[in-house]
Structure formats: structure tokens, C-alpha cells
């Protein structure tokens, strides 16, 4: 199956729309060889009737079957009515031989934000169930599920991106196609390939980039994504992923070390702090022979002396080395000074036998917003590059992947650039601790794990308060979650290691 994937045509006035590249791509399409054209939204610049008419005229010349969805720009000024009139239904499914394409409108009228409401969410999950026998499952959605690099501040994220990501991974969707950020990007997460298209004919490109589109080939053995930048700067990027199925590990090799990962203890004298959960987990963790305990922030409920003194008393009872990184609430009030007085540096690191952990301070005073910043990013990756042949782990408070069961707010402002660099630098593991729900997935070969709250009544998992255990073997990384009260264990995932020994 060969797909031509383009996005963000922004058909409109000359100020926003460049006709030539679009005509060029449509002509190429009509030369043949493609099974499907997919347009992932922002067909027009402003949702105006004359531009929908023009879009309809251009698309009617296409001889290949075509799937389109609206973008936020198409839904401006009531444009959705015109979209339906001139282009087609904004949601639905299309069957093509062995493939099913599910397309969904993720846009909120007159807003740049994304949302897939409960009805549509259920529609997607029903379609995935109904067509589970299809060998190629494709999802088309305008808004990006994952943070995109070179796109500036992370924003207009899908409010339920975490639930969608979880759904796509659970149903083993092969391909998720998006647009919106006007920068092309490809990630393979647990064998689901997420492809973001740049803008094919919009004049708003980023970081000096030019217009581009994607060609995607899917056969039995592999999925190949080719990004074509074709005007001025002619370049071609290719990513290829095997499709031979989900490998089951039976030989992990020798176990090298164990990391215990906790977050959001929210220690305070109030009843919101679950003392019993904390003490049971403490006892269990002390018996697990971990090499290091990583606390991803939210140590105290508030940054005041009463909470810090109590937290120090509790945290000192762990028998293994502990490293910390602060959350916003750890720095509230007097927190910035109290944190350092009680728990040490703002950016901590830990050197183990053949592994290295580097903390990133992403929090700020009185703010839920996280930022790493260019200076800190450069410094951290420079430090990691010096640790050759070692297992490299970064830990920070803010989430990098969207978390299920939580409203995604894109709180880490530069998550797009950070994630791309961490993946390209082959960082083995990223630990985070926001939103109080556990989650783990592997982006290319970088395993990313979020921890639930260890001991706060405010947590979102039906499994209950928990902590994570990360076991690193020669061949594999095994991540599981352990309930604080009952010690029950749930596997979050097993992944092949990046730099196998």
C-alpha cells in the first residue's frame, strides 16, 4: 500500500497560501502508483466558502481515493458547515482491501485547541474493535498526539491525548497521521508509527524549513516513511520500521540493576497524605534491593517548613540512595530554599555501576508550567555524551508523553525539542512524575515511564497508589508497577534495550 500524506494546505489568500507546491504534488499523485491520498487537515486558511470551493475543485481532479479531515483553521467562522458541504464527512472510516482508515475531527470551533469528545472516542474504539482483523490500521487526526520538535512552545495539544495514545497502542494501530504543527516528524512507539506532516503549501513554516509532504509504503515486512522537502531545499528523509510482529522476549540476559521510581508523595500532616500507604511502600521498597530510588517531585504538599521537616523525617527512612527533582509545589512559598536545605541540589545526578542518572529541574515558582530551556538542555546532553557506553537515564517532574486519565495540558513547554533530542541521542530511559497516573511506552528505543502518586489521596489509577520498579537486564528493560498498600504487581511493559551489552 502506498499513501501520499499531505497536510495544512491553508488554501486562502496569497499571504498564506502558495499554489505551486500543491499543484506539483497533486500532479505527481495523478501520475499514478498511489493507493490513497490522506489530507490531515487545515485545508483552508480561514474556513471561507470561496476557499472551500477552490479546495473542492483541486481535490476533484484527484483520481486516487482520498481521505480528508478538518483542521482548526477549517472550523473558524462556522467553517465546519462548509466543510461538510464541499469536502465531506469530518469523521468516519474507509475500508481498502487489507486496510482500515479511521478519520476523526479533533478540532474545537473557533479555537486552536484539540479535543476528541467521548462520543468520538468511543467511535474510534468501536471501529478498532470491529476492524481488528485488518492487517493495516490507520488513524488520521489533525492535532499531534506527541510533542513535535522545532515547533516552538508546546500548545494546542489534544486534551485527551493520553487516552488516545493508550488506545492506539493497545489496539496496535500501525500508523497515526497528523498535521497542525507545520513541521514533519516521525516516531515509532511500541510499533505504532506516528507521522506528522509539515505544511505542503502554507507559507507559515518554522525554523527556516520549507514545504513538505510524506510518502508512506506499507508492505508485509516494513513500514517506510519518506518526507520530501521539494521546493528550494530538495531533501528526502527516510525512516523504515520492520513490521514482523511483536517480539516476545525469553532471554533477558543477566540483571544489571534496579531503579525504584516514585512521585507525588505530598507529605504533610493533613489527611490527604496517606501515611499507611507511604509506610507500607517504604517497607516494601527497603526489601526490594534497588540500587537507587528516584523521586520525580511533589515531595511535600506545600513548600512550608512544617511539610519539609516531616518529609525529611519520612524520606530518611529509605535504606537505598535517593535522588530528587522538584515539582512546582515543592518550590512554593519557602520551598526553593527548604528543598535545598533538606534534600540537596536542584539538579541532582547519580552514578551507578554502568549507569548514570541525570535530573533536570523543569519546575518554577508558583507555576504548574515546566520548562527545560535551551541552556540546560545543551548542558544535560553534553554531560550525557561524556558517559559513553553507559546506560543513560534522565529524570524530571513534567511528563514528556501524554498521560492517560489526565487532561493533557502540554505543561512542559519545550517537550517537542527535548523528546526529539533524547531519542536521537539514544537516552535509554526517561522518568517523569506528573498527573498521578502510571504509564510507560518506548519512543524508538527510549523507554519513558511516568509514576503514579505514592501516597496522596489525589491519584487517578484504579490500581491505587503505586510506585514503579525498573529492572535493567543485558537485553531488556522490564517496567512494573507495585501497589503501595497490597504489594500487588502489574507489568507496564518489556522493551528491548537500546545499547545491548
The partner residues of 193 in beta bridges, in order of sequence, read 175, 188
Cβ–Cβ under 8 Å, residues 325 and 295: yes
Instruction: Tell me whether residue 168 is exposed, middle or buried, using C-beta atoms within 10 angstroms of its C-beta: 0 to 12, 13 to 18, 19 or more.
Output: buried
Closest separation in Å from C-beta 53 to Fe ion: 20
Applying CB under 5 A, which part among 57-65, 68-76, 307-315, 418-426 lies near Fe ion? 68-76
Nearer to Fe ion, 183 or 473 (CB): 183
d(CA 64, CA 1): 12
Applying CB under 5 A, which part among 29-37, 71-79, 379-387, 439-447 lies near Fe ion? 71-79
Closest separation in Å from C-beta 381 to Fe ion: 30
What's the grid cell of residue 300?
511535600
* Contact mark string toward Fe ion, 303..332, x via CB under 5 A: ------------------------------
What's the grid cell of residue 382?
553534553
Nearer to Fe ion, 61 or 155 (CB): 155
Element (H, E) at 337: helix 335-343
Residue 413 makes contact with Fe ion by CB under 5 A: no
Nearest partner of 164 among 111, 117, 218, judged by Cα? 117
Q: Collapsing DSSP states into helix, strand and coil, what is residue 267?
A: strand
Nearer to Fe ion, 213 or 356 (CB): 213
Nearer to Fe ion, 111 or 351 (CB): 111
Nearest residue to the partner Fe ion, using Cβ: 42
Residues between 147 and 206 that touch Fe ion (CB under 5 A): 180
The partner residues of 448 in beta bridges, in order of sequence, read 430, 441
Residue 72 makes contact with Fe ion by CB under 5 A: yes
Question: Where does 264-310 show beta strands of DSSP type E?
Answer: 292-295
| From 8, 163, 166, 481, residue interacting with Fe ion (rule: CB under 5 A) | 8
Q: Collapsing DSSP states into helix, strand and coil, what is residue 340?
A: helix
Nearer to Fe ion, 8 or 105 (CB): 8
Closest separation in Å from C-beta 40 to Fe ion: 9
* Contact mark string toward Fe ion, 42..61, x via CB under 5 A: x-------------------
Closest separation in Å from C-beta 8 to Fe ion: 4
* Contact mark string toward Fe ion, 468..497, x via CB under 5 A: ------------------------------
What's the grid cell of residue 205?
513554516
Closest separation in Å from C-beta 179 to Fe ion: 6
Backbone angles phi, psi at 64, to 5 degrees: -85, 145
d(CA 201, CA 309): 59
Nearer to Fe ion, 8 or 18 (CB): 8
Those residues whose C-beta lies under 8 Å from the C-beta of residue 190, and which sit 6 or more positions away, are 169, 441, 442, 493, 495
Angle between helices 415-424 and 374-386 (to 10 degrees): 10
Residues between 23 and 42 that touch Fe ion (CB under 5 A): 42
Nearer to Fe ion, 72 or 201 (CB): 72
Closest separation in Å from C-beta 412 to Fe ion: 21
Q: Please tell me the count of residues contacting Fe ion according to CB under 5 A.
A: 5
d(CA 476, CA 237): 29
Closest separation in Å from C-beta 273 to Fe ion: 42
Closest separation in Å from C-beta 397 to Fe ion: 29
d(CA 305, CA 301): 11
In the chain, how many H helices and how many E strands? Answer: 10, 24
Nearer to Fe ion, 74 or 166 (CB): 74
Cβ–Cβ under 8 Å, residues 51 and 12: yes
| From 71, 147, 162, 328, residue interacting with Fe ion (rule: CB under 5 A) | 71
Nearer to Fe ion, 42 or 330 (CB): 42
Cβ–Cβ under 8 Å, residues 395 and 360: yes
Cβ–Cβ under 8 Å, residues 273 and 313: no
Closest separation in Å from C-beta 71 to Fe ion: 4
Closest separation in Å from C-beta 427 to Fe ion: 30
Closest separation in Å from C-beta 180 to Fe ion: 4
Nearer to Fe ion, 195 or 293 (CB): 195
Q: Tally the C-alpha atoms within 13 A of residue 206's C-alpha that lie toward its C-beta.
A: 15
Nearer to Fe ion, 184 or 404 (CB): 184
What single DSSP character describes residue 325? -
Site residues, Fe ion (CB under 5 A) = 8, 42, 71-72, 180
Amino acid at each position: 500500500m502506498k499513501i501520499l500524506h499531505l497536510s495544512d494546505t491553508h488554501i486562502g489568500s496569497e499571504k498564506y497560501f502558495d499554489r505551486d507546491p500543491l499543484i506539483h504534488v497533486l500532479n505527481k499523485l495523478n501520475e499514478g502508483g498511489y493507493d490513497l491520498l490522506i489530507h490531515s487537515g487545515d485545508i483552508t486558511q480561514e474556513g471561507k466558502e470561496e476557499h472551500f470551493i477552490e479546495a473542492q475543485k483541486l481535490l476533484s481532479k484527484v483520481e486516487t481515493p482520498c481521505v480528508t479531515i478538518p483542521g482548526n483553521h477549517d472550523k473558524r467562522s462556522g467553517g465546519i458547515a462548509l466543510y461538510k458541504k464541499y469536502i465531506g464527512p469530518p469523521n468516519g472510516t474507509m475500508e481498502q482491501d487489507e486496510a482500515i482508515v479511521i478519520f476523526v475531527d479533533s478540532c474545537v470551533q473557533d479555537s486552536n485547541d484539540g479535543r476528541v469528545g467521548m462520543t468520538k472516542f468511543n467511535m474510534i474504539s468501536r471501529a478498532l474493535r470491529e476492524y481488528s482483523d485488518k492487517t493495516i490500521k490507520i488513524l488520521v487526526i489533525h492535532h499531534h498526539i506527541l510533542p513535535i520538535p522545532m515547533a516552538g512552545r508546546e500548545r494546542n495539544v489534544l486534551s485527551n491525548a493520553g487516552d488516545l495514545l493508550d488506545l492506539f497502542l493497545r489496539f496496535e494501530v500501525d500508523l497515526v497521521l497528523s498535521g497542525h504543527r507545520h513541521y514533519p516528524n516521525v516516531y515509532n512507539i511500541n510499533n505504532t508509527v506516528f507521522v506528522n506532516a509539515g505544511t505542503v503549501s502554507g507559507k507559515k513554516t518554522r525554523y527556516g524549513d520549507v514545504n513538505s509532504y510524506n510518502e508512506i509504503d506499507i508492505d508485509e515486512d516494513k513500514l517506510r516513511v519518506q518526507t520530501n522537502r521539494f521546493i528550494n531545499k530538495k531533501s528526502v528523509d527516510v525512516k523504515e520500521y520492520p513490521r514482523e510482529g511483536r517480539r516476545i522476549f525469553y532471554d533477558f540476559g543477566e540483571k544489571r540493576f534496579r531503579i525504584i521510581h516514585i512521585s507525588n508523595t505530598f507529605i504533610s500532616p493533613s489527611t490527604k497524605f496517606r501515611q499507611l500507604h507511604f509506610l507500607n511502600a517504604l517497607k516494601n521498597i527497603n526489601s526490594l534491593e534497588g540500587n537507587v530510588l528516584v523521586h520525580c517531585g511533589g515531595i511535600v504538599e506545600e513548600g512550608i517548613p512544617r511539610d519539609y521537616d516531616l518529609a525529611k523525617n519520612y524520606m530518611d527512612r529509605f535504606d537505598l540512595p535517593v535522588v530528587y527533582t522538584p515539582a512546582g509545589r515543592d518550590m512554593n512559598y519557602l520551598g526553593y530554599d527548604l528543598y535545598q536545605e533538606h534534600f540537596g541540589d536542584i539538579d541532582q545526578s547519580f552514578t551507578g555501576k554502568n549507569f548514570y542518572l541525570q535530573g533536570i529541574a523543569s519546575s518554577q515558582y508558583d507555576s504548574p508550567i515546566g520548562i527545560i530551556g535551551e541552556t540546560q538542555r545543551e548542558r544535560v546532553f553534553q554531560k550525557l555524551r561524556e558517559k559513553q557506553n553507559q546506560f543513560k537515564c534522565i529524570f524530571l517532574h513534567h511528563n514528556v508523553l501524554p498521560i492517560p486519565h489526565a487532561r493533557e495540558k502540554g505543561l512542559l513547554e519545550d517537550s517537542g525539542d527535548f523528546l526529539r533530542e533524547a531519542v536521537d541521542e539514544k537516552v535509554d530511559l526517561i522518568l517523569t512524575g506528573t498527573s498521578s497516573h502510571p504509564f510507560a511506552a518506548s519512543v524508538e528505543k527510549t523507554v519513558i515511564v511516568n509514576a503514579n502518586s505514592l501516597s496522596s489521596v489525589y491519584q487517578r489509577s484504579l490500581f491505587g497508589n503505586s510506585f514503579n520498579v525498573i529492572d535493567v537486564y543485558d537485553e531488556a528493560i522490564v517496567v512494573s508497577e507495585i501497589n503501595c498498600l497490597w504489594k500487588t504487581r502489574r507489568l507496564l511493559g518489556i522493551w528491548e534495550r537500546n545499547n545491548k551489552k
